Amino acid sequence: MRVLWRALGHFLTTAFRRRLSLHLEIVALRHQLSVYERSRPRRFRIEPGDRVLWSWLARLWPEWRERVRLVQPRTVLEWQKRRFCDHWRRKSEGRPGRPAIDPEIRTLIRQISRANPSWGSPRIVGELAKVGIVVAKSTVEKVRVRASGCPSPTWRTFLETHVKDLVSIDFFVVPTMRFQILFVLIVLAHERRRIVHFNVTANPTAQWTAQQMVEAFPFDTAPGYLIRDRDSIYGAAFRRRVRSLDIEEVLTAPRSPWQNPYAERLIGTLRRECLDNVIVLHERHLRRVLWSYIDFYHRWRVHQTLEMDAPEHRPVQPPELGEVIEFPDVGGLQRHYERRAA
């Protein structure tokens, strides 16, 4: 009986309500019924459209709290707050306070700061402006790589900066057929990997080595810097002679042959391409073999660091000059190729 009286009360209340409020209630009740029908037992499946509908009803219908049975009213309010935040986040996307820096510009700033550790941010900004890139000082501050400690040029930087005025000297030993040890001194110019001077002796001394420097650099051809190791053969007599030629000595660190890389690489090349394939008879024979190889080295051997050119510039021969012919060098140990007309 109580159910009938409640139903009659609902009917009378509905008869005198506004038409809009009645339609909204019908929409709310039917929507909740559809959610119950599509959901599994004891588990409601709320979709984004459900949240949008109830957020809309909460704004237009004052009585929505009494009719919502699907969730708690505070849940609907949370949906509405979330929609508000999502709306303004979408409107602000792509329009931050400052545009993002291009990855290529970021990489360039790091490259410049690594290559020039003494440069500050204003100088980097100015350098970028000269190539048409406008960035703020604060951006460079965040992106650039900071040097640790006092900025100092690396050994490689020193070599590249003074390559036109650098020579290296070094000794290496060659055994003869009679088990005699011969010492070979080489003097190498860095710019074109050219062997300026070499000589052979069985008894190297500081005076002999100093005389080789005079023979290597006659008149005013002395370089600005001479790279060498700390061998005791470079004694007081040698240092005085080098000083008289106005050459500044650059000493490598103890047990650091990598600091004299060009001379070490040349010695390795001499061994691999020539001396490892020859039985040296005596000092005169070794000198003759080295002369033959050095002539090939200067005129024909190509170097990667010289862009596949020889120390003495070797022109490219076009196909019109004829067919490719092989020519032996260093007694047949090496070969070079030229085009010759038939």
Q: Walk along the chain (342 residues) and give the pLDDT tens digit of each residue.
A: 554 445 444 444 554 445 666 666 667 666 666 766 666 666 666 776 766 666 666 666 666 666 665 667 777 667 667 776 766 677 666 555 566 788 888 899 988 888 887 788 888 888 888 888 888 888 888 888 887 665 566 667 766 777 788 999 999 999 999 999 999 999 999 988 999 999 999 999 999 999 999 999 988 889 999 999 999 999 999 999 999 999 999 999 998 998 899 999 999 999 999 999 999 999 999 999 999 999 999 999 998 888 889 999 999 888 888 888 899 999 999 999 998 875
Q: Is 48 part of a structural domain of the chain?
A: yes
Statement to judge: residues 164 and 58 lie in one domain: no
Q: What is the pLDDT of residue 5?
A: 43
Q: Tell whether 32 and 109 lie within a shared domain.
A: no
Q: Quote the pLDDT of residue 8.
A: 43
Rounded to whole angstroms, how far apart are CA atoms 53 and 279? 97
Give a yes or no: residue 335 inside a domain: no
Domain match, 124 and 178 both: no
**Judgement on whether residues 274 and 190 belong to the same structural domain of the protein:** yes
For 194, the 3-state DSSP assignment is: strand
Domain hosting 11: range is 2-92
Q: What is the pLDDT of residue 147?
A: 72
Residues 28-71 pLDDT 10s: 666 666 766 666 666 666 776 766 666 666 666 666 666 665 66
* Same domain assignment for residues 111 and 79: no
Which segments of 137-213 are extended strands (E)? 166-175, 181-189, 194-201
If asked whether residues 175 and 305 sit together in one domain, one would say yes
**Is residue 124 domain-shared with residue 207, that is, in the same domain?**
no
Cα–Cα distance measured from residue 53 to residue 35, given in angstroms and rounded to the nearest whole number: 12
Angstrom distance (rounded) from CA 240 to CA 252? 19
What CATH number did the domain enclosing 189 receive?
A: 3.30.420.10
- pLDDT reported for residue 117: 79
Close Cβ partners of 294 (under 8 Å, ≥ 6 residues apart): 195, 198
Nearest Cα to Cα of residue 132 among 106, 98, 105: 105
At 118 the pLDDT is 76
Segments of the chain assigned E as strands: 166-175, 181-189, 194-201, 225-228, 248-251, 323-329, 334-340
* Assigned domain for 98 exists: no
Identify whether residues 72 and 133 lie together within a single domain.
no
- What does the buried/exposed string (b/e) look like for 204-222 if buried means 16 or more CB atoms within 10 Å of the residue's CB? bebebbbebbeebbeeeeb
Helix (H, G, I), strand (E, B) or coil at 45: coil
Quick one: 293 and 197 in the same domain?
Answer: yes
In a domain, 327, yes or no: no
Q: Which of 113, 143, 173 is the endpoint of a domain?
A: 143
Same domain for 84 and 108, yes or no, is no
Asked if residue 333 is part of any domain, the answer here is no
Report how many domains make up the chain: 3
List pLDDT tens digits, range 248-259. 999 999 989 988
| 295 and 203 within one domain | yes
Angle of the 48-60 helix axis to the 73-92 helix axis, nearest 10: 100
CA atoms of 163 and 334, how far apart (whole Å): 29
What's the DSSP call for residue 320?
G
3 state SS of 231: coil
Residue 332 forms part of a structural domain: no
In whole angstroms, what is the distance from residue 101 CA to residue 206 CA? 61
pLDDT at 28: 67
Instruction: Looking at the structure, tell me whether residues 293 and 218 fall in a common domain.
Output: yes
CA distance 213 to 211: 5
Backbone conformation region of residue 255, classed left if phi is above 0, alpha if psi is from -120 to 50, else beta:
left
Query: Does residue 323 belong to any structural domain of this protein?
Result: no
Predicted pLDDT of residue 133: 87
The single-letter DSSP state of residue 70 is: S
Predicted TM-score (pTM) of this structure? 0.57
Q: Is residue 331 part of a domain?
A: no
CA within 13 Å, CB half, 50: 19
